[in-house]
Structure 1
Amino acid sequence: MRFSSHDKVAEKSRKLLEKCNKIHYQKGAAYARLNIASAGFYSSRNDIALKHLAEAMKWFEQNRHEPGYAMALLLKGNIYESLGDFEKTLDLWLKAWKQSIESGDRESEGEACSQLGLIYSRLCNFTKALEFSEEGLKIRDELGDENAVASSLNRIGMLLRQTKKFSESLGFYFRSLDIRRKNNQTSAIPWTLLGIAATYEEMKDFEKSLCYYSEGQRNADKRCALQCMMGEGRVLSHLGDFKMAESKLSESLRMARELKSQALVAEALHALANHYEYSGQPGKALKHFKLYLKARESFQSSEAQSRLNNVEVAHAIERSEQEKEIYRLKHVELKQAYDIIEEKNKDITASISYASRIQNAMLPDPEEITELRKNMFILYLPRDIVSGDFYWFAKVDGKYVIAAGD
């Protein structure tokens, strides 16, 4: 869905939904709604996404074994992440990751790893972010999903940029761009261009940055276009084109508020505060900086961070308890198997002992032929309790007959 034409997918899914509703095919309707919701989200239409996702979730909650359940959790997390609600996002993506592993859905597991890489980067936990992103890339590469691989390369490029490894970052971004251009991913290409532009901006190569920000706004969805415009405004401010910079940054703030994304609102306010400082307007700079702090507080406060940590710990504990229960059940199974074997062993030993008594009763006693005692001895040592070897002797017509056999 993410790497397809959103409008075409939405149109086909709407037609499919109508057919499913007519014949009361609930499963088909749930998947159709999930596709419509995905197309809505990737087209920056959260209202449509939330409406259809809520309806789809009613069915998936009752059918959690379906691959669509993990996909629905991931999409719901995407929406909350875009709104800056990182607590709900983390909870949903961890649930999706766990569900995909339990169901053996490698495609959803790869997506969950990629998205967890994103949320941990938002929380500045770059070690975990890179760990999940690299695992997502590995899974997608194994599945041979080129378009998904490009997405993972993009994500790793972003993480390397955030950790100031600019040369490596550009390497990953351009690998992603090559795949996306080769596969004609028109809706995904702008996101890679955005990453390249942001990297050049941090490298202070403003001319290249401006070029990529401008190119990234073509064919971009609203969320990507907004960020490209904001980046363009920051660069123009650095270059001294204050009038154009203010126009771009103000428009990006308006769009962020329209999308109800607290994270993007905070980012736009911070960019405006810096712009007013550069352009010698301290009053406006202070005003926008205060607004920025207020917006940022809603999702980056110590209380919010604490809640996020609690979500992570809760999932870790749940996972640990499940592993402990699995170990306990395996131990119970082994104990039961051991008890069965022990009981069987007792039965077998009893049978062998009984066979030994029969064998001893059948073998001749040396005392029966007293004349032989001076000239012979019998060495009969079974390895265990009973032996397959036997011996026999008797006096027949005044002669001794001796036999040994196996």
Structure 2
Amino acid sequence: MKKVKMPEHNVKLTRRMRASVSTALTRRMRASVYPAITRILRVSILFLFSCFILHAQNNPADSLLALLKNEKTDNGKVNYYNKLFLEYEYTDNVKARYYIYKALRLSKEINYEKGLATTYKYLGIFADDTSNFQQAIIHFKQSLKISENIGDKKNISAMLGAIGFEYYFKGEYPKALEYYFKSLKIAEELGDKSRIAKQLGNIGIVYEEQSDYTRALDYYFKALKMAKALGDKSGIAADLGNLGNVYKKQANDAELQKAPIKSDSLYKNALDYYFKALKLAEGLDDKNSIATQFVNIGTVYHDLKDYQKALDYYFRALKMDEELGYKSGIANDLGNIGSLYISLKKYSEAEKYLLQAISISDSIGILKEKVQFENSISELYSQTGKVKEAFEHFKKAIEARDTLINEAKSREIMNYEFEKKEAAVKAEQDKKDALAAAESRKQEIIIWSVIGGLFLVALFAGFIFRSLRVTKKQKIIIEKQKHLVEEHQKEIIDSITYAHRIQRAILTSDSYIKHEINSIDAQHFILFKPKDIVSGDFYWFFKQDNCLYYITADCTGHGVPGGFMSMLGISFLNEIIIERHITDPGEILNKLREKIVKSLKTDEGYTKDGMDAILCKIDKSKQILQYAAANNSFYIIRNNEIIEQKAQKMPVGYMEDSAQFVTQTFRLQKGDNIYTFTDGLPDQFGGPKGKKFMYRRFEENLSAICNLPLKEQEETLEKTFQDWKGNLEQVDDVTVIGIRI
């Protein structure tokens, strides 16, 4: 008989459980490897919204199909469609979608509210499975509303808990607690002790994530007491493990506060609860849980620097996983062992186990774990002076992280394509929301990846600098190191080139820009010529509610410093416009300035780094252009006449006595050409006398080409720039954006 749990993380998630609860890597590694999985899995241990479904012992899907064929009532058909969704959820994605949407259509047609509530519940589960957490919340709330209408308190409690779970996973802890407490209250009214125990545990987990360990322990002990009263040994084991986790975190904090006596006592408490959980798991013959506790215990000994005991428990976990044939667990165990050998400075052993972990992660496609294994072995090679190997594995970590991003986007697009057939207008909006969230997540991950890459560049540069600081008496050593320096220089260029590719990835894609500009019946070109490999200029486009937002920005400096600033700018624009829905150009620049100033503030005071920028908002329906401009003016050419749009003389950055940015409005006409740009082209030295190109000459060129097709305008401007520059060095990044209404 198959048990189905709500939300349906089922066997797949349970099998991944130890990879999250028991991550036994070094503290730095544990902090970065499995936080997302940890959330899902620890919650899933407790978050068991019982709605057990009986299935036939043999070929349950076939049996359900036979029953469906003979079912005469529409209500019964809806119920069977829902059950078929559960059967196919993890085995056949297409069939699962097919049956859940058949249930949705039919339950709506016949106004079968109980069946519709169940269908929305399963749609929420399906959205959660595909990492579409906002959509999961929407569906769970739909199920909740219907359940409230029909007075189904059991499902009301379940849906409140499900919504709390999604908010927890999104990191919105106050909302998660709000819904968990509501679910707990109804469970208490129903006398549902099992659900009470699980919600007490869930509340404890939220408090633990907020580092409110006193409350976390309080609720874990309440959950443990309830589980003991119920005789729920699995629940008892989960609660004991969670108590161990809290004491271990408290011990880690005490270590950071340099309180060794306190930390030793807390580690002892953690071990006590882990060993109790292990004993229960052994009594249940639950090998998964046994291996989990082996790793948990190993992590404590690892933190206590009792490396031999830690290795003993890591190897026990490895042996257990090998008996189970659980490859993901094997990979994690190998990674844990490898990390411990790094702590012991046994680098050859560490390399052996980490390479095995990477090999298994490649074979079974566990990309999140692969990212950490690659980072770990990169760190190992860095410590042993194998710079080339260190950088190669660092790049592999970035590539695996990028693949994760792309897979997430692919799942969202697939969801969109199917739902479009059900409700075109609603699905279109869902897709926009999903893509905006995915783009924001992607860019945040890429930005931090670039920062990590550039940090590695700085390490390499420091190494080269130290290598060159030799005296004249060391000429022989200098000659020997000459080739090494050249190799390192090449590696620096390679890493900056890689950073360039990442920067290009976070700039709005050409296909997106073309599609959105075409959607407002406009044309465009973008001339983008960085001075160095990484650019301090950047552009960014986003369309929302029939309005096109775009920015042309010139950050302080160029190359790596300007690149850092451009990353901050794009990240903050995503937050301000996409997430916070601020739409007024002046207010957008004000918020952008606030964030930049706050981010760059040091103990010595404010830095004057920032950017010059032009932020435009084209409202197609009203035929107006709204803009705010910091230092850089721009041009609109109408009927061959240049209309200069003046900028406010202040940057998007710190400035004493700076005023607020103000939105200006310009009414557009068909055929208007809008040109926004940075100062790179006008400031370029060249020509027969080696002088600046100047704005006057730039205006003359724009007047001469404004009636040409946009592609020819771009080509002509680029040729003009190259001819003027000649053999002289490019002095700054160059960006020119032209849009014809």
Partner of 1:211: 315
Instruction: Tell me, in whole angstroms, the C-alpha distance in 1 between the residues paired with 2:212 and 2:163.
Output: 22
Matched pairs, number = 289
Instruction: Tell me, in whole angstroms, the C-alpha distance in 1 between the residues paired with 2:329 and 2:173.
Output: 19
Structure 1 residue 107 displacement after superposition: 1.9
Structure-to-structure mapping, 1:188-199, within 5 angstroms? 188-199=289-300
Structure 1 residue 149 displacement after superposition: 0.6
Contact (CA 8 Å) 2:332, 2:357: kept in 1 or not? no
Write the letter of the residue equivalent to 2:230. L
The answer to whether 1:179 aligns with 2:179 is no
Structure 1 residue 175 displacement after superposition: 1.0
Q: Secondary structure at the match of 1:232?
A: helix
Instruction: Tell me, in whole angstroms, the C-alpha distance in 2 between the residues paired with 1:284 and 1:20.
Output: 60
Greater relative CO, 1 or 2 (CA 8 Å, sep 6+) = 1
Structure-to-structure mapping, 1:102-251, within 5 angstroms? 102-104=186-188, 105-164=192-251, 165-204=266-305, 205=307, 206-218=310-322, 219=324, 224-238=329-343, 239-240=346-347, 241-251=349-359
CA distance 1:79–1:34, change in 2 (3 Å)? farther
Partner of 1:351: none
Q: Structure 1: state its 5+ residue gaps.
A: 41-46, 307-406
Write the letter of the residue equivalent to 1:95. Y
- Higher-Rg member (1/2): 1
Contact (CA 8 Å) 1:117, 1:131: kept in 2 or not? yes
Write the letter of the residue equivalent to 1:50. F
Structure-to-structure mapping, 1:13-52, within 5 angstroms? 15=61, 23=71, 24-25=75-76, 50=126
TM-score, normalised with respect to structure 1: 0.53
Write the letter of the residue equivalent to 1:217. D
**Higher strand proportion:** 2
Structure-to-structure mapping, 1:7-406, within 5 angstroms? 12=55, 15=61, 23=71, 24-25=75-76, 50=126, 57=140, 62-63=146-147, 65-68=152-155, 70-71=157-158, 85-87=169-171, 91-92=175-176, 94-104=178-188, 105-164=192-251, 165-204=266-305, 205=307, 206-218=310-322, 219=324, 224-238=329-343, 239-240=346-347, 241-251=349-359, 258=365, 267-268=372-373, 271-282=376-387, 288=394, 294=445
CA distance 1:123–1:215, change in 2 (3 Å)? farther
Structure 1 residue 158 displacement after superposition: 1.8
CA distance 1:17–1:117, change in 2 (3 Å)? farther
CA distance 1:92–1:10, change in 2 (3 Å)? farther
Instruction: Tell me, in whole angstroms, the C-alpha distance in 2 between the residues paired with 1:20 and 1:199.
Output: 53
Structure 1 residue 66 displacement after superposition: 4.7
Write the letter of the residue equivalent to 2:182. K
Q: Residues 333-380 of structure 1, C-alpha deviation per residue, up to 9 Å, x if partnerless?
A: xxxxxxxxxxxxxxxxxxxxxxxxxxxxxxxxxxxxxxxxxxxxxxxx
TM-score, normalised with respect to structure 2: 0.32
Structure 1 residue 294 displacement after superposition: 4.6
CA distance 1:61–1:123, change in 2 (3 Å)? same
Mean alpha-carbon deviation: is it higher for 55-64 or for 31-40?
31-40
Partner of 1:401: none
Contact (CA 8 Å) 2:321, 2:327: kept in 1 or not? no
Instruction: Tell me, in whole angstroms, the C-alpha distance in 2 between the residues paired with 1:49 and 1:221.
Output: 25
Contact (CA 8 Å) 1:210, 1:232: kept in 2 or not? yes
Instruction: Tell me, in whole angstroms, the C-alpha distance in 2 between the residues paired with 1:220 and 1:79.
Output: 31
Instruction: Tell me, in whole angstroms, the C-alpha distance in 2 between the residues paired with 1:255 and 1:112.
Output: 38
**Higher helix proportion:** 1
Mean alpha-carbon deviation: is it higher for 246-255 or for 166-175?
246-255
Q: Residues 95-142 of structure 1, C-alpha deviation per residue, up to 9 Å, x if partnerless?
A: 244213223233223223323434444454434433332232222223
Contact (CA 8 Å) 2:160, 2:182: kept in 1 or not? no
CA distance 1:266–1:259, change in 2 (3 Å)? closer
CA distance 1:59–1:28, change in 2 (3 Å)? farther
CA distance 1:175–1:155, change in 2 (3 Å)? same
Structure 1 residue 27 displacement after superposition: 6.1
Instruction: Tell me, in whole angstroms, the C-alpha distance in 1 between the residues paired with 2:326 and 2:163.
Output: 18
